[in-house]
Amino acid sequence: MIVNSTNLTILNRAFNSAFKDGFQTVTPQWERVATLVTSTTSEEKYTWLGKTSKFREWVGDRVMQNLKLHDYAIRNKRFENTVTVDRDDIDDDKYGIYNMPMKELGESAAIHPDELVFKMLAAGESTKCYDGQFFFDTDHPVGLDGAVQSVSNHGGGAGTAWYLLNVGKLLKPIIYQRRRPYTFNPLTSPDDPNVFFKNEFVYGVDGRNNVGFGLWHTGFMSKQTLDEPGYGAARTAMFGFKFDNGNPVNQGGKFLLVVPPSLEAQALKVVTAERLANGADNIYRSTAEVFVCPWL
């Protein structure tokens, strides 16, 4: 191929098309546990998290209800993935060998949010959420002034962690904040330093985003044995969660039992088996969907 601006434009379009093909070959999983929030600046503040009020019979004048304010913010980060192509390979018509790396760039861009979201979930017992406590913690403050109690969404234990999440609410347990989608950018002009000094074309993908936590009430983590009693304890705890105004949090929704590959068999026994080992009916059958997460 003669390396000129016309041919490079054609080549860049072909590589961009390969990138898009790779992006579309995978189905990201982050949407199962995270809510997408579009960002318009360097960071977004979520002061509204945890704000609740309560309806009352309108007798006399309206009653103004004070809402708790939380200083919780998610700052966007830059992420990039860059590869180089030897100019001589283009000159010698060997550019076809780079279609697969360009597709892999697309695949990597598509699943990168999965990495961010599920690593955030795994760090939930050591990462703070909007109320200043770790997302999975034993002492979340709940209640209005003068009547605050400590509530736990951590089941304790010393085994492998598993998670029961309510993903059927407007706001899922994790927030995926997107400032700028992943885009494909070539650096192939003969005047570019990488071409002049290194005889290389550069192709990069970059985007701006970050992740954080939503309402802790929508998640429960346990390191206890994943069996009928352990799962039942998690469900009981979650259905007991209340907002500061006393209203129940998890009155409905869709529950996801998120486990690492090592706990797949136990999870399936708990929520898909018709009967228990002793022959009794499995009362927890179909109460949650099992999601085996390789990032955990």
What does the alpha-carbon distance between residue 10 and residue 117 come to, in Å, rounded to a whole number? 36
Task: Give 254's contacts (C-beta < 8 A, 6+ positions apart).
Answer: 166, 167, 168, 289
Q: Minimum mean pLDDT among 190-194, 213-217, 270-274, 283-287: which range?
A: 190-194
**Are 83 and 203 spatial neighbours (Cβ–Cβ below 8 Å)?**
yes
What does the alpha-carbon distance between residue 289 and residue 164 come to, in Å, rounded to a whole number? 10
Domain-located, residue 61: no
Percent of the chain at pLDDT above 90?
69
Tell me how many domains the chain contains.
Answer: 1
H-run or E-run covering 117: helix 99-122
**Are 162 and 270 spatial neighbours (Cβ–Cβ below 8 Å)?**
no
**Are 254 and 61 spatial neighbours (Cβ–Cβ below 8 Å)?**
no
Average pLDDT over residues 7-11: 83
Question: What is the predicted pLDDT for the residue at 86?
Answer: 87
Domain-located, residue 59: no
Residue 153 belongs to domain spanning: 5-54+69-292
Domain-located, residue 164: yes
Stated pTM of the model: 0.89
Exposure class string for 236-256: b at 16+ Cβ within 10 A, else e: ebbeebbbbeeeebbeebebb
Average pLDDT over residues 8-26: 92
Question: What is the predicted pLDDT for the residue at 218?
Answer: 95
Domain-located, residue 63: no
pLDDT tens string 51-104: 665 566 677 777 655 555 466 899 999 999 999 988 887 777 776 888 999 999
pLDDT tens string 187-237: 988 888 898 889 999 999 999 999 999 999 999 999 999 999 999 999 999
Domain-located, residue 246: yes
Q: Which of residues 95 and 262 earns the better pLDDT score? A: 262
Domain-located, residue 62: no
Question: What is the predicted pLDDT for the residue at 7?
Answer: 77
Domain-located, residue 64: no
Q: Which of residues 278 and 128 earns the better pLDDT score? A: 128
Q: Minimum mean pLDDT among 24-38, 66-80, 152-166: which range?
A: 66-80
Q: With left for phi above 0 and alpha for psi between -120 and 50, is residue 88 left, alpha or beta?
A: alpha
What are the angstrom distances between the C-alpha of 91 and each of 4, 9, 111, 193, 195? Answer: 10, 14, 33, 18, 13
Give backbone dihedrals phi and psi of 151, rounded to 5 degrees, phi first: -125, 140
Q: What angle do CA 273, 276, 279 make, to 5 degrees?
A: 120
Domain-located, residue 123: yes
Task: Give 149's contacts (C-beta < 8 A, 6+ positions apart).
Answer: 141, 142, 143
What does the alpha-carbon distance between residue 242 and residue 249 come to, in Å, rounded to a whole number? 5
Q: Which of residues 49 and 222 earns the better pLDDT score? A: 222
Question: What is the predicted pLDDT for the residue at 64?
Answer: 56
Q: Which of residues 162 and 88 earns the better pLDDT score? A: 162
Question: What is the predicted pLDDT for the residue at 143?
Answer: 84
Average pLDDT over residues 152-181: 96
